[in-house]
Amino acid sequence: MIKHIPVVSGGLPLIGHMLDFGKDPDGFMQRCYAQYGDTFKIRLGKEAMNILINPHDIHEMYANKQRAFSATKSNRLISQHVFGSSLDAYDRTVHAQIDIMRKHLAKNNLHDYNLKMQNTLEAVIFQESSAHWQDIELYSFLSRLIYKAGSAALVSDTFASDDSYRDFKVFDDNVFYILGGAPKVFFRKAIAARNRINQRFQQTSQVSNAMQLERYHCFEENGIRAYDVAANDTSIFWAANSNTIVVAYWVILHLYRDPSVRGLLQEEMNTALQDSHEYSATGKPVLTLPVLEKLKKMDSFIDEALRHYSSIFSRRIAVKDTAFETRNGIYHIEEGEYVAGFSRICSFFPEIYEDPYTFQWDRYLNQKSFYYQGDKIKSMQFAFGGGQNICPGRWFSRNEFKIVIATLLQFFDFQLMESHLPEVNLTRSGTGTLPPKDKIKARYKLK
C-alpha cells in the first residue's frame, strides 16, 4: 500500500516550521524523528520538504533508480536566487560544467592543484611568521589562510588577495540566511560583496589552470554572457571555500587538543614524506599524490570531524509523481516536491557509531564499514552528499586539510590558549558544515 508521508504539525502560515527549525535545528529535527519516525514532511517558508532520516533511505534517494529526483532542478533556483545567474545559462551548461569539474578534480588528477595550494599556503604563512610567538584567533587565522591558498589553486592569484577575502567573508557570513529564503533586501552588504566578487571574475583575464580553461571554453561555445559566467564562478568559488574552512578549523582544533594523537599523525606524516622526491617553491617536501594516499590516520581524523560538524539537507526535487520505497514502506511523493536527506540525525545513531558524541579520531581507521538495521550503509561519509551529484571537490578539500596539517606540524610550534571545546553555531544547519560559536585564541611561531 502506498502511504502519505506524515506532515509535522504546528507550522505557521507563510513561514511553516522555519521558526522551530531556526531556534533549535538539531532539537527540532530530533523531536520530529521521535514523533514521526524515519520520514516526515516539514515546511520551511513556502517549500515543503519530505525529510529522510534513515541512512538506507537517503541512499535510495541518491541511487535514484526510478529517475524521479533531480538535484540540478533544486540547485538552479539557488544559482539564480543566491548568485544571480540566469536560469537559461544555468540550464544550458550545468551538466557540462559539472562533468568538467569532476574530471579535473578527480582524486588522481590533483597534483597541480595540490602543489599550487601548498606553494601559496607556504608563501603566506612563512611570510607572516617569525621565531617569536604570534597571537591569533584560530578561526580567522585558518579562514584567511585556506581562502588564499584554496582560491589560488582553484581560481587564480587574483582571488588570493586580502580585498577579495574581505568580500568573501561578508558574503559567507550572510549567505546562509539568503539560502534559507530570507529576503535579500535585508542583506544589501552581502549582495554588494557578491557583486564585487562577480566583477572581479569578469575583469580577470588570467586563466590559471586547466579546469578553468575548459570551463570558460564551454561557456564560450554556448554563448553564455560574461555576467552569467561570473555568477557561476562565484558559486563554485564559494562552495569550494566555505565548507573547507569550517572543517579545517575543527580538524586543527581537535588535533591541537590531543598531543598523543598529534604525535601519531606526525609520525605517519614523517614516514610518508620520506617518499616525496619533489620540492615546493620554498624547498619543502611536496605532499604528492602517493604521500597523501598514505595518510590513513589523517583521513580517519578528517572523516570524524566531517561526521561531527556537517549538517546538510541533501535536496532533490521530484520530477514526476513517485512511489518511493523506504525501509518503512512505500510513500507517495508528488511531482515538484522536495525530498531531503538529513544525515545529521543518523550521524549520531549509537546503533551505527558507538559512543557517537565522542570525537574518536580512529573510528574510520578501525572500521571499514558501518551497519544499520543489519545492512551495510553504502557510504562511509555523508558530508559530501551522494549519487550523481556527490561533491566534486571532496578529494581536493581532503588534500587541503592534509596540506594545512602537514605545514603546521612540520614547521611551526602551535598552541591553543584556551582549553574548552567551543559550541557549534547552528545557524548554518542544513546548508553544509557548522562553524564554532565562540572564538578561540591560539599562538604560533616558527620551529
Q: Where along the sequence are the contacts to ligand HEM (CB under 6 A)?
A: 71, 75, 98, 101, 105, 154, 236, 239-240, 243-244, 247, 310, 312, 314, 383-386, 389-393, 396-397, 432-433
To ligand HEM, the closest distance from the beta carbon of 102 in angstroms equals: 8
Cα separation, 14 vs 183, whole angstroms:
13
> Judging by DSSP bridges, how do beta strands 338-342 and 371-372 pair with one another?
unpaired
Q: Which is nearer to ligand HEM, 71 or 178 (CB)?
A: 71
Q: Which is nearer to ligand HEM, 295 or 312 (CB)?
A: 312
Q: Are 108 and 289 in contact (CB under 8 A)?
A: yes
Q: Which is nearer to ligand HEM, 58 or 193 (CB)?
A: 58
To ligand HEM, the closest distance from the beta carbon of 184 in angstroms equals: 22
To ligand HEM, the closest distance from the beta carbon of 285 in angstroms equals: 23
Q: What are the E-state strand segments in 82-195?
A: 134-137
User: Shortest CA distance to 147 belongs to which of 129, 131, 123, 169?
Assistant: 169
Which of helix, strand or coil describes residue 436?
A: strand
To ligand HEM, the closest distance from the beta carbon of 404 in angstroms equals: 12
Q: Which is nearer to ligand HEM, 197 or 273 (CB)?
A: 197
Distances (CA, A) of 207 to 183, 197, 345, 416, 422: 35, 16, 42, 39, 40
Cα separation, 421 vs 338, whole angstroms:
35
Q: Which is nearer to ligand HEM, 240 or 339 (CB)?
A: 240
Please list, in sequence order, all residues whose beta carbon lies within 8 angstroms of the beta carbon of residue 257, skipping any fewer than 6 positions away.
416, 419, 421
Burial of 129 by CB count in 10 Å (0-12 exposed, 13-18 middle, 19+ buried)? middle
To ligand HEM, the closest distance from the beta carbon of 447 in angstroms equals: 28
Q: Which is nearer to ligand HEM, 72 or 202 (CB)?
A: 72
To ligand HEM, the closest distance from the beta carbon of 391 in angstroms equals: 3
Q: Which is nearer to ligand HEM, 209 or 282 (CB)?
A: 209
Of the CA atoms within 13 Å of residue 69, those in its CB half-sphere come to 25
User: Shortest CA distance to 443 belongs to which of 141, 124, 118, 123?
Assistant: 141
To ligand HEM, the closest distance from the beta carbon of 419 in angstroms equals: 26
